[in-house]
Amino acid sequence: MNIDKELRDQEAFDEAPFSEEDKKLYTLLMAELDKESEIRIKPTFSADIIKKLEARKRRETIWEFLLFAAAIAGVVILTALTFSIFTSNATESVDLFQNSPVGPVIALVVLIVIFQVVDKKYLKDTRLKKRLNQS
Amino acid sequence: MDDQSLVKSILNGNTQAFSFLIRKYEKLVFHMIQKLVNDEPSIEELAQDVFMKVHEKLPGFRFESKLSTWIATIAYRHTVNHLRKSKRMVYKELEEASEDRFFVSEETPARVYEAQDTGQYIQEHIQKLPAHYRNILYLYHIEEMTYPEIVEITGLPIGTVKNYLFRARKLLKEQLSKFVKREELL
């Protein structure tokens, strides 16, 4: 620390020319301020944090696995639903588009949109973000 | 190990590297928190939270500032948010506080005589200063941070940072004057 510069800046702030006593006091004070005070830190502090991080990582892995399983189950259910809509419609009428074309098409579009949103929000974006951040 | 290699190693999943980072910056984080919080068990809990946050946010760190400044910013903001939530810090009160109040409570001639040495006397009086004053003194004098770095950490305007620093030193110098005069009398 440049003590002369500090004294000049302090003098400008105090708005009064320093006496010899002021200079001595400020010099003594700044020497004391530059000394670090004692602080107690447990020796196991870093190890405790690493343990916490590992526990959090385990929880996140389980949560990600559950989300992935739910997404797979969702795909299976949505496929079955779509298939059942088409087959029920086909059994009720020979011509799919002549009898009631709007209902099944809207249902299909809705199912696809829901799947895309779930896939983007919970799988692609989160994984992609992690990869991008790490690169 | 320099900070860039350290961060790269942590992002590659090296827990030993993160352990090294904790040991390297734990003093900074503890001091930052201690300047704002007096309760010792809370200091350690808050410090743990800070390093958890550091680990979480590290992938987004782009070296636009020094790693120490970035960690100090997280420590400062996390502690201030904690204090705000527990309603233990009111900025307006702090800003409007009268300087005369800081050292009045226990300052008696006998107290001045009790102090063992200059260092102890100064440390006792630093503890009586408002949190922002203590923090800025620490960042400027111990961590040797620049004004822009302190501005980045505290979010305070540069004029306020300088004002707090100079006011704190002026107040301490006045107290030190009493102590020095006591020594001359002895």
Residue that is last in its domain, among B89, B109, B140 = B89
pTM exceeding the 0.95 threshold for the entire prediction: no
Max Cα separation, chain A? 107
Q: A66 lies in a domain? A: yes
Distance from CA of B17 to the nearest CA of A (A): 11
Tally the domains of chain B: 2
B55 and B113 co-located in one domain: no
A5 and chain B in contact, CB less than 8 A: no
Do A67 and A113 lie in a common domain? Answer: yes
pLDDT, tens digit, 9 for 90 and up, residues A85-114 = 777 766 655 454 555 667 667 777 877 887
> Are B58 and B2 in the same domain?
yes
CATH number at residue B142: 1.10.10.10
Rounded to the nearest angstrom, the minimum Cα separation between B147 and chain A is 13
Q: Which residue has the higher pLDDT, B39 or A60?
A: A60
Do B151 and B185 lie in one domain? The reply is yes
The total domain count for chain A is: 2
User: Which of B58, B71, B173 is the best mutation test for A, with the most CBs of A within 10 A?
Assistant: B173
Residue-averaged pLDDT of chain B: 85
pLDDT the model gives residue B92? 47
Check whether residue A82 and residue A129 sit in a common domain: yes
**Does A75 share its domain with A124?**
yes
Supply the pLDDT for residue B22: 96
Same domain, A21 and A72: no
Both B53 and B70 in a single domain?
Answer: yes
pLDDT at B144 over 60: yes
**Do B70 and B148 belong together in one domain?**
no
Same domain, A72 and A127: yes
Q: In the prediction, which pLDDT does B114 show?
A: 60
H or E, element range at B11: helix B3-11
Looking at per-residue pLDDT, the higher value among B98 and A51 belongs to A51
CB contact under 8 A, A46 and B47: no
* pLDDT confidence tier of residue B45, bands split at 50, 70 and 90: very high
Nearest to A122 by CA among A57, A67, A58, A63: A67
pLDDT digits (tens, 9 = 90+) for A8-25: 999 999 888 889 999 999
Same domain membership, residue A68 and residue A19 = no
Q: In b/e form, how buried is each residue of B84-101, taking b as 16+ CB within 10 angstroms?
A: eeeeebeeeeeeeeeeee
Cα gap B47→B26, rounded to integer Å: 8
ipTM: 0.78
CA dihedral A108, A110, A116, A122 (to 10 degrees): -130
* Same domain as B81, residue B18: yes
- Predicted confidence at residue A129, as pLDDT, reads 61
Distance from CA of A2 to the nearest CA of B (A): 11
Q: How far is A59 from chain B (nearest CA, A)?
A: 14
The answer to whether residue A46 neighbours chain B at the CB level (below 8 Å) is yes
Residues B40 and B123 in one domain: no
Q: Indicate whether B128 and B69 sit together in one domain.
A: no
pLDDT in tens, B87-142: 665 544 454 455 656 665 555 555 655 666 888 888 888 888 888 899 999 999 99
Share of chain B above pLDDT 90, in %: 56
Give the A:B interface size as CB pairs under 8 Å: 93
Which of A19, A33, A35, A52 is the best mutation test for B, with the most CBs of B within 10 A?
A33
Residues B183, B104 share a domain: yes
Q: Which residues of A touch B99 (CB under 8 A)?
A: none
Together in a domain, B82 and B102: no
Instruction: Tell me the residues of B at the A interface, defined by beta carbons under 8 Å apart.
Output: 11-12, 15, 18-19, 22-23, 26-27, 30-31, 34, 44, 47-48, 51-52, 55, 59-60, 118-119, 122-123, 126, 137, 141-142, 144, 162-163, 166-167, 169-170, 172-173, 176-177, 180
Question: Where does the pLDDT of residue B145 fall: very low under 50, low under 70, confident under 90, or very high at 90 and above?
Answer: very high
3-state DSSP assignment of residue A82: helix
> Could you give the residue ranges of the DSSP H alpha helices within B40-157?
40-57, 67-85, 91-96, 109-114, 118-128, 131-137, 147-154
Query: How close does chain A come to B113, measured CA to CA in Å?
Result: 18
- What's the pLDDT band for B163 if we cut at 50, 70, 90? very high
Q: Are residues B178 and B116 in the same domain?
A: yes
- Chain A residue numbers with beta carbons less than 8 Å from the beta carbon of B59 are 130, 133-134
Give the model's pLDDT for residue A130: 61
Share of chain B above pLDDT 70, in %: 82
Listed residues B89, B111, B145: the one ending a domain: B89
* Domain limits for position B142: 91-186
Q: Which of B89, B118, B140 is the last residue of a domain?
A: B89
- List the CATH number of the domain containing B41: 1.10.1740.10
For A23-50, what is the mean pLDDT? 91
- Distance from C-alpha of B9 to C-alpha of B32, rounded to nearest angstrom: 26
The verdict on A66 and A128 lying in the same domain is: yes
In a domain, A89, yes or no: yes
Q: Which of A45-49, A72-76, B5-9 shows the lowest per-residue confidence on average (mean pLDDT)? A: A72-76
Is the pLDDT at A119 greater than 50? The verdict is yes
User: Which residues form the domain of A12?
Assistant: 3-33
